[in-house]
Structure 1
Amino acid sequence: MKRVTGIGGIFFNAKDPVALRAWYKDHLGIDVQGWGGAAFTWSDGGTTIWSIGNADGGHFAPSQSTFMINYRVDDLAALLQALRDEGCNVLEKTDDSEYGKFGWVMDPEGNKIELWQPPAGQ
C-alpha cells in the first residue's frame, strides 16, 4: 500500500500570527492571503497549503508543538488501520468534508500529524 504521496500542508501556530505572516510575506515573498496562508501549486495540479494560525486555536492538540505537517495520502482509512495495527497512536477523530478526508496520528515525539485524502479528482 502506498502511504504518503506528498506534503499537503504546513501549519504554524504563532503568538502574533498577523506579524509573523507579514514577516514571511515581506522577507520570503510568500503570497499570504486574507485567510492566513498561501497555496503552492504543483506541476501536476496539486497544492501544498502553508498557513499561520493563532497559538490559542487548539487545532494541534494534544500536541504541544507550534507546527503540524499535513501529508497527502491515497487511502486514509487503510492507512489509519495499518498505523493502528502497527501500534501507532492514531487519534479517533476523523473528518470528511468538501476538502477531503482527514485523520491524525501522533509521532513518538508527541507531534500531531495530519493525514489528508483529497477529494476524488484532485
Structure 2
Amino acid sequence: MTSIASAFVPVHDPVAAADWYREHLGLTVESASSFSAVLTDGSRRVTLMGPRSGIAATPGLPWASASYRVDDVARTAAALRERGLDVSDVAGDPSVCLFVTTRDLDGNVVLLVDR
C-alpha cells in the first residue's frame, strides 16, 4: 500500500515559517532548521523546504501545495482575520467542500477546507 509521507512547501526561512504555521494553523513543529521544518497534525506531515535544502522551488506559490482541514471554515477565517491576515471569503458548495485561502509568510497560498 502507498501512503502520503509529506507535502512540500518552499519557504525562505524554515524556522520562521514553522512558527507561522504553528501560531496560525496550530500545527506541531517536529523539527526546524535552516534546511527544512517538519510540521504535523499528529498523523500527516508538511515539510517546509528552505533554500539550503537543495529544492529548486521559489516561495510564493500561486496555488496550494496542500490543504489544511479545519473544524469550521468561517470561524477559522474570522480568527485569522483578527490576527491581521488577509483571508478570502468562504467559497465552495456546502454539500461538497467549503474553503478559504490566505497566504503564509512567504506568499504561498494556504488552502483551508472543511473536509
Larger radius of gyration: 1
User: Smaller-chain TM-score range?
Assistant: 0.3 to 0.5
TM-score (norm 1): 0.40
TM-score (norm 2): 0.42
